[in-house]
Amino acid sequence: MFQFASKPTIGLSIIIVSWNVKDYLRNCLQSVIDSCQEINYEIIVIDNASKDESVKMVRKSFPQVELIVNQDNLGFNKGNNQGIRMAKGQYLMLINPDTVVNKEAMQGLLDYLKTNQRVGIVGPEQLSERNRTVSTASRLSIRGNLEFTAEHLVSWLTGNYQIIFNKPYKVGILNGGCWLVRREVFEQVGLFNEDLFLFGEEPKFCYRTIRRRWEIHFARQFYIHHFRRKSIEQMEKSEANQFIRDYYNLIKNKLLGRKV
């Protein structure tokens, strides 16, 4: 269980954990601002000890952003928890810095949660630099794999890619590149596991959310562009080793039936 410090005072909190992706972060922030024209929102950026002048860029170009500057790289989960704790929104969006949000996506996802009261988390479709859907955890179902395969096959046959199946549906796991989450979900489910540095928490959090009788939806009618793995490519050896240890412990505990 988690309790926010105060009641929500705005509509939406957008939380971005960033590390050494200054140019991607700039584009992400601008796309978020452009897509929130009719929304009462705040943006919280957690910088995990970047060395590429990301902090300077945010302060100069986006002074309206709430900026947390960590002296060490605290990882994805702990960074998101910092933002969640200070969020004042009724809804919270967790989004990667190497993304660009389509203009209609933000309002569309908000309206989707407002309309579907049993949905606790919703996420959009993710497109690559080439405007193709990417293989993510959101597709770990028969339907997800069939849609993905069919659309790419049609693209190969016709030379023209398009999303054919754009209906939203319920999933068990949602890729963590972009989540829109009800405030109540965090209050009931709690925060992310800070023992995991980068990956491994999304499936567990989704499982805990479903156990609380919330639904998780993959809304393919809305999309973002996700330039994947940009932060991971910069991982130093120490962070890479920590990432491997996290996954080893996650798998070991799962096999032994221990809670993570």
Residue 155 has pLDDT above 90, yes or no: no
Report the chain's mean pLDDT, rounded to a whole number. Answer: 88
Whether 108 and 222 have beta carbons less than 8 Å apart is answered as: yes
> Hey, is 88 helix, strand or coil?
coil
Tokens, residue 100:
């660009």
pLDDT in tens, 15-53: 999 999 999 999 999 999 999 999 999 999 999 999 999
Domain range summary for the chain, segments of one domain joined by +: 10-254
Quick one: pLDDT at residue 178? 95
Quick one: pLDDT at residue 255? 44
Amino acid at 229: R
> Hey, is 257 helix, strand or coil?
coil
Domain spanning 10-254, CATH class:
alpha beta
Residue 247 has pLDDT above 70, yes or no: no
pLDDT bracket for residue 254 (50, 70, 90): very low
Q: What share of the chain is helix, strand, coil (3-state, %, to 5)?
A: 40, 25, 35
Residue-wise over 83-118: b if at least 16 C-beta within 10 A, else e? bbebbbbbbbbbbbbbbbbbeebbbbbbebbeeeee
Q: What percent of the chain has pLDDT over 70?
A: 86
Which stretch of DSSP H or E encloses residue 203? helix 201-211
pLDDT in tens, 184-205: 999 999 999 887 755 567 888 9
Residue 220 has pLDDT above 60, yes or no: yes
